[in-house]
């Protein structure tokens, strides 16, 4: 277990909630970093993806959405969430490289940069998104990523 603060991207939580192949890696990062931080986007994205999955027509077990939302609530209780405010939006203006990715990814990365500045050295961003990992590294963030 590490005392290093870690930014948890939505891809990490969703891998576990959706039972994706990377779930074991995501759960290991979660367990390894008890000082978890993220953006409020984590909750919004995870809740939206879970509900979209439930409505997709896939054959899911009865009560699946309710169970996954309870698990999400437990995970959210274990992470400090940063509100997307004017400071985060201003960070988008400062970091022109953030214009090269999807809006929510840019907001996640701007939030991670802000948090790194406040939490200090050793800060790591955990993501299963290859594009986000690449851009984060280019922006000088330390990245835990499983690519490929």
What are the structural domains, with CATH classification, of the chain? 6-145 (3.40.50.1010)
Residue 146's pLDDT is what?
A: 66
Contact 30, 23 (CB under 8 A): no
Helix 10-17 to helix 23-32 angle (10° resolution) is 120
Q: How many CB atoms lie within 10 A of CB 56?
A: 9
Q: How open is the CA angle 108-84-105, to the nearest 5 degrees?
A: 20
Quick one: average pLDDT of 8-26?
96
Closest CA to 84 of 56, 58, 61, 105: 105
With residue 143 as reference, give the H or E element that holds it.
Answer: strand 142-145
Contact 123, 26 (CB under 8 A): no
pTM value is 0.92
Q: If you average pLDDT over every residue of the chain, what do you get?
A: 93
Quick one: average pLDDT of 76-97?
96
What are the tens digits of pLDDT across the range 47-70?
A: 999 999 999 877 888 999 999 999
What are the tens digits of pLDDT across the range 100-147?
A: 899 999 999 999 999 999 998 889 999 999 999 999 999 999 999 765
pLDDT at 31 over 70: yes
């Amino acid at each position: 277990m590490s005392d290093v603060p870690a930014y948890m991207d939505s891809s990490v939580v969703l891998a576990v909630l959706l039972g994706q192949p990377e779930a074991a890696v995501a759960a290991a990062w979660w367990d390894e970093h008890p000082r978890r931080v993220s953006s409020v986007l984590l909750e919004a994205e995870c809740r939206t993806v879970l509900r979209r999955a439930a409505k997709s027509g896939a054959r899911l077990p009865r009560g699946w959405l309710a169970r996954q939302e309870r698990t999400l609530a437990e995970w959210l209780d274990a992470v400090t969430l940063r509100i997307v405010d004017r400071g985060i939006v201003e960070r988008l203006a400062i970091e022109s490289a953030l214009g090269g990715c999807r809006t929510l990814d840019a907001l996640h990365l701007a939030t991670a940069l802000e948090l790194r500045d406040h939490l200090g050295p050793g800060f790591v961003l955990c993501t299963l998104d290859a594009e986000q990992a690449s851009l984060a590294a280019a922006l000088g963030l330390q990245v835990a990523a499983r690519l490929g």
